[in-house]
Amino acid sequence: MIPLSWYIIFAAVLFCIGLYGALARRNALAILMGIELMLNAANVNIVAFWRYGTFAIRGQVFALIVFAVAAAEAAVGLALIISIYRRRTTIAVDEINMLKW
């Protein structure tokens, strides 16, 4: 039916697209979106290996913990972005380059 390699290659492409988004964009929110893409790609990878392996339940547990970590990281990241926007009125990451002004 569907060989495992299809899922792995899909996850690899998604990860590389997210990597480009995280490295090349100037807007902090766009970088956060790239990070979410990378997390989702890793999650697809984990669940694919769980399905094509021996059905040990730890694959799904791993994926659930990744969900929780992604939610926590998105919340803190967005709070940071709002805080930076309040002080500097900019969220372009190459303009936030001084520790104190």
Q: Confirm or reject binding of residue 24 to other proteins (CB under 8 A).
A: yes
Q: Confirm or reject binding of residue 96 to other proteins (CB under 8 A).
A: no
Member of 14, 98, 99, 100 binding other proteins (CB under 8 A)? 14
| Phi/psi of residue 82, nearest 5 degrees | -65, -40
Q: Which of 97/98 has CB closer to other proteins?
A: 97
Burial of 79 (0-12, 13-18, 19+ CB in 10 A): exposed
Report the C-alpha gap between 54 and 62 in whole angstroms. Answer: 15
Q: Confirm or reject binding of residue 5 to other proteins (CB under 8 A).
A: yes
Q: Confirm or reject binding of residue 80 to other proteins (CB under 8 A).
A: yes
